[in-house]
Amino acid sequence: QLQASGGGLVQAGGSLRLSCAASGRTFSSYAAGWFHQAPGKEREFVAAISGRGANTYYARSVQGRFTISRDNAKNTVYLQMNSLKPEDTAVYYCAADDWSGTIASGTADYWGQGTQVTVSS
C-alpha cells in the first residue's frame, strides 16, 4: 500500500514537500514516482526514482524545480516542490513499479491515493 500526504494550499513561488509511505513490501526493490492530474486533464508523469535512488527522471515542466528522493529505511519517497506555479495545481499520486522506466513512460503497477496541491496566484 502507498499512502501519500503533504498536499495543501500555497502561494505561487512557495514550496511543499509530498511524502509517500509504503507498507507491506520490500520498498527498495521497487522504483517509485509521482504523477499529477489537473481537473479535466489526463494524468501526467512528474518524477521517478530507481529502487536504490541512483537514478531520477523528471518531466520537463518540473525539471529544476522539483526533486524526488527516497529513504528506504523509512519506506518513504518524497517530492520536494519549489518555485510552485498555479499550473502545478493538481491531485498528486504516488506510484511504484518494478522499473523506473515504466513510471517515466506514464504508468505503474501500484498506486496510492492522491493528495491535493493548490497553488494560488
d(CA 119, CA 53): 28
Q: Whole-number mean pLDDT of the chain?
A: 94
Using pLDDT thresholds of 50, 70 and 90, give the confidence band for residue 77. very high
Using pLDDT thresholds of 50, 70 and 90, give the confidence band for residue 35. very high
d(CA 121, CA 117): 13
**pLDDT at residue 25, rounded to an integer:** 61
Residue with cell 493528495: 115
For 90-104, write each residue's pLDDT tens digit. Answer: 999 999 998 888 998
Q: Which range has the worst mean pLDDT, 16-20, 53-57, 58-62, 103-107?
A: 103-107
**pLDDT at residue 90, rounded to an integer:** 98
For 44-56, write each residue's pLDDT tens digit. Answer: 999 999 999 999 9
Residue 97 · residue 109 · CB < 8 Å: yes
